[in-house]
């Protein structure tokens, strides 16, 4: 069964350091999403890609966060510098042309010390 792959699963870093997360969507899925989930809450969108283009990054803190999907396949989300409040689960999801279902990866749990 096709899955969204994310790495690493866990990341511990100190504040002011740089971190990067990687996502490989389900093969053939043109739309890719990055969400952030704070413990006890639902995921919230950070950025949405359609192929290699950003469709919505209105909630992305652009002073420290960046995201790219250069070839329209896999994607990287970067935080520099990390702050204590960035501790959360970072989830990647993808969807295809046949339906609107977003399929999620297992996420990257970030802890900023």
Partner 1 sequence: GESVGLHLPTLSVQEGDNSIINCAYSNSASDYFIWYKQESGKGPQFIIDIRSNMDKRQGQRVTVLLNKTVKHLSLQIAATQPGDSAVYFCAESQAGTALIFGKGTTLSVSS
The single residue among 31, 66, 76, 87 that binds partner 1, judged by CB under 8 A, is 31
CB 32 within 8 Å of CB 94: yes
CB 26 within 8 Å of CB 95: no
Please give the helix or strand (H or E) that residue 49 lies within, else none.
Answer: strand 44-50
Determine, following the binding rule CB under 8 A, whether residue 102 of this chain makes contact with partner 1.
yes
State the SS3 of 62-101: CCCEEEECCCCCCEEEEECCCCHHHCEEEEEEEECCCCCC
The single residue among 17, 41, 80, 111 that binds partner 1, judged by CB under 8 A, is 41
Determine, following the binding rule CB under 8 A, whether residue 51 of this chain makes contact with partner 1.
no
The single residue among 15, 56, 85, 111 that binds partner 1, judged by CB under 8 A, is 56
What is residue 103's three-state secondary structure?
strand
Determine, following the binding rule CB under 8 A, whether residue 75 of this chain makes contact with partner 1.
no
Determine, following the binding rule CB under 8 A, whether residue 91 of this chain makes contact with partner 1.
yes
| Contacting positions for partner 1 (CB under 8 A) | 4, 6, 31, 33, 35, 40-45, 48, 56, 91, 93, 99-107, 109
């Amino acid at each position: 069964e096709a899955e969204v792959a994310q790495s690493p699963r866990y990341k511990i870093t100190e504040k002011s350091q740089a971190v990067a997360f990687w996502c490989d969507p389900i093969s053939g899925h043109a739309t890719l999403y990055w969400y952030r989930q704070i413990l006890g809450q639902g995921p919230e969108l950070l950025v949405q890609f359609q192929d290699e283009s950003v469709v919505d990054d209105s909630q992305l803190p652009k002073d420290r966060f960046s995201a790219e999907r250069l070839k329209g396949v896999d994607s990287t989300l970067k935080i520099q510098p990390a702050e204590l409040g960035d501790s959360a689960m970072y989830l990647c999801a993808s969807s295809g042309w046949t339906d609107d279902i977003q399929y999620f990866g297992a996420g990257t749990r970030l802890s900023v010390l």
